[in-house]
């Protein structure tokens, strides 16, 4: 089965073509980071306009790559189009969804609306061998990005039970905001990682979130405020070596919170076979090293290519939905971008999972 994936929820336009949900035939991403960097964050109007410029050339490049290969795939060979329906910036989402609707309607193909956050989890499974990916479920899946810090219990490929989320800032958002306060470029996450690799995390004390042993909810605003107050009190400019030590200590505490919560969740759901970490922050090598060996079960991270937003993960989840629900369910393209989600009654729910 061939699925075309389309992603345009935030600041990356992406198109990908997958065979049977796991074999990536072509995957193209156009990042807008350089366009937003001068503003220190994503500007929704610029994002929508950039998606408009990029989406057709990306689609052409993906089809060219797939068509030039041995299999000589054409648009008529595709079984379905999967596209991010939400969550995301409305103007940005509309570009991908309108493009996908046009393709699907003109070629009489099913059109599958995809939840971006759930898709990140399938992006993490893409890099694993078939056997390891099959054995990974049921799992605890942590999606840790600029917009989300969500922990799911995933029993089967389409069953996402949200068991914890952040009470305030997302982890990536906190990294980006502290990066900005330290004068680092946007987005702060990778720059903080770079600075932290040169610093000593033991030189600067960090506050630990006051939490009950069973508390699963995440929180990053306290850590962010602590960093803001520390930066305000220091004489400017802060010496480079001190910035490196601050980044190392701050980053370690931000990730230790994730690991503590995962440990609580693992005790609460002892039947899970693995932990899956996904989203942009999963690209961080220090976080990967801290997680390795932290749990008694395997901990899977995505290939670097599938940490940040991409369309391979959209097609991967689309394939599971098409396989399970059948094409007829997706022939009606009469749906909108979030918040109206037409398939919410099918296994997708935000209910608390019971241990």
Asked whether position 253 contacts Zn ion by CB under 5 A, the answer is no
Q: Which of residues 302-321 bind ligand KG4 (CB under 6 A)?
A: 308-309
Under 8 Å CB-to-CB from 203, ≥6 apart: which residues? 245, 248, 249
Cα separation, 348 vs 340, in Å, equals 13
d(CA 42, CA 88): 12
Output 59 or 255, the one with its CB closest to ligand KG4: 255
Q: How many CB atoms lie within 10 A of CB 354?
A: 9
Q: Which does 104 bind (CB under 5 to 8 A by kind): ligand KG4, Zn ion, none?
A: none
Q: To 5 degrees, how large is the angle CA 262–CA 267–CA 271? A: 100
How far apart, in whole angstroms, are the C-alpha atoms of residue 341 and residue 149? 21
* Burial annotation 234-252 (CB, 10 A radius, 16+ → b, else e): eeeeeeeeebbbbbbbbbb
**Cross-strand bridge partners of residue 300:** 276
Return the number of the residue (30 or 145) whose C-beta is nearest ligand KG4.
145
User: Does 13 contact ligand KG4 by CB under 6 A?
Assistant: no
Closest approach of Cβ 1 to ligand KG4, in Å? Answer: 26
Site for ligand KG4 in 174-193 (CB under 6 A): 175-176, 187-190, 193
> Site residues for Zn ion, window 308-327 (CB under 5 A)?
309
Whether 262 contacts 140, CB under 8 Å: yes
Q: Sign of dihedral through CA atoms 145, 150, 155, 160? A: negative
- Rank residues 86 and 189 by Cβ distance to ligand KG4 and give the closer one: 189
279 contacts ligand KG4 (rule: CB under 6 A): yes
The whole-angstrom separation of Cα 278 and Cα 316 is 14
Using rule CB under 5 A, residue 245 touches Zn ion: no
Which of 53, 194 has the CB closer to ligand KG4?
Answer: 194
Residue with smaller CB distance to ligand KG4, 50 or 176? 176
- Asked if 81 contacts 6 with a C-beta cutoff of 8 angstroms, the reply is yes
Closer CB to ligand KG4, residue 21 or residue 172? 172
- 32 binding Zn ion? (CB under 5 A): no
**Burial (0-12, 13-18, 19+ Cβ within 10 Å), 163:** buried
Least distance in angstroms from the C-beta of 301 to ligand KG4: 11
Position among 145, 149, 219, 291 found at the interface with Zn ion (CB under 5 A) = 145
Tokens of 137: 């479920």
Between 27 and 322, name the residue whose CB sits nearer to ligand KG4.
27
- Smallest separation, CB 103 to ligand KG4 (Å): 24
Nearer to ligand KG4, 103 or 121 (CB): 121
Taking CB within 5 to 8 Å according to partner kind, which of ligand KG4, Zn ion, none is near residue 166? Answer: none
Binding mask 192-231 for ligand KG4 (x = CB under 6 A): -x--------------------------------------
Check residue 281 for interaction with ligand KG4 (CB under 6 A). Answer: yes
> By C-alpha distance, which of 216, 220, 207 is closest to 171?
220
**Contact call for residues 306 and 18 (beta carbons, < 8 A):** no
**Shortest CA distance to 300 belongs to which of 267, 263, 275, 270?**
275
Binding residues for Zn ion, total number by CB under 5 A: 2
Which of 92, 153, 283, 314 contacts ligand KG4 by CB under 6 A? 283
Interacting residues with ligand KG4 between 95 and 154 (CB under 6 A): 145-147
Binding site for Zn ion (CB under 5 A): 145, 309
Binding site for ligand KG4 (CB under 6 A): 10, 145-147, 172, 175-176, 187-190, 193, 279-281, 283-284, 308-309
């Amino acid at each position: 089965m061939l699925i075309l994936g389309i992603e345009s929820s935030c600041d990356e336009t992406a198109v990908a073509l997958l065979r049977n949900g796991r074999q990536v035939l072509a995957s193209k991403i156009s990042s807008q980071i350089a366009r937003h960097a001068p503003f220190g964050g994503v500007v929704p109007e610029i994002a929508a306009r950039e998606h408009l410029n990029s989406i057709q050339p990306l689609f052409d490049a993906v089809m060219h790559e797939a068509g030039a290969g041995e299999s000589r795939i054409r648009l008529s060979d595709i079984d379905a189009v999967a596209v991010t329906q939400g969550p995301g910036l409305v103007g940005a989402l509309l570009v991908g969804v309108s493009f996908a609707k046009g393709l699907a309607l003109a070629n009489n193909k099913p059109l599958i609306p995809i939840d971006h956050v759930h898709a990140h989890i399938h992006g993490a499974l893409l890099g694993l061998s078939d056997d390891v990916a099959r054995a990974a479920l049921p799992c605890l899946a942590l999606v840790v990005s600029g917009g989300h810090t969500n922990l799911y219990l995933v029993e089967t490929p389409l069953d996402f039970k949200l068991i914890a989320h952040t009470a305030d800032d997302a982890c990536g958002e906190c990294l980006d905001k502290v990066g900005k306060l330290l004068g680092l470029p946007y987005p702060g996450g990778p720059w903080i990682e770079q600075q932290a690799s040169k610093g000593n995390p033991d030189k600067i004390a960090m506050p630990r979130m006051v939490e009950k042993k069973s508390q699963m909810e995440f929180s990053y605003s306290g850590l962010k405020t602590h960093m803001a107050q520390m930066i305000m009190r220091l004489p400017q400019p802060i010496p480079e070596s001190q910035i490196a030590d601050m980044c190392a200590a701050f980053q370690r505490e931000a990730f230790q919170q994730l690991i503590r919560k995962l440990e609580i969740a693992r005790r609460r759901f002892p039947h899970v076979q693995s932990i899956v970490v996904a989203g942009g922050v999963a690209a961080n090598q220090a976080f990967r090293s801290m997680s390795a060996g932290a749990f008694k079960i395997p901990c899977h991270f995505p290939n670097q290519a599938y940490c940040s937003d991409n369309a391979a993960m959209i097609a991967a989840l689309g394939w599971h939905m098409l396989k399970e629900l059948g094409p007829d369910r997706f022939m009606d393209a009469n749906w909108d971008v979030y918040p109206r989600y037409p398939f919410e009654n099918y296994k997708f729910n935000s209910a608390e999972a019971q241990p």
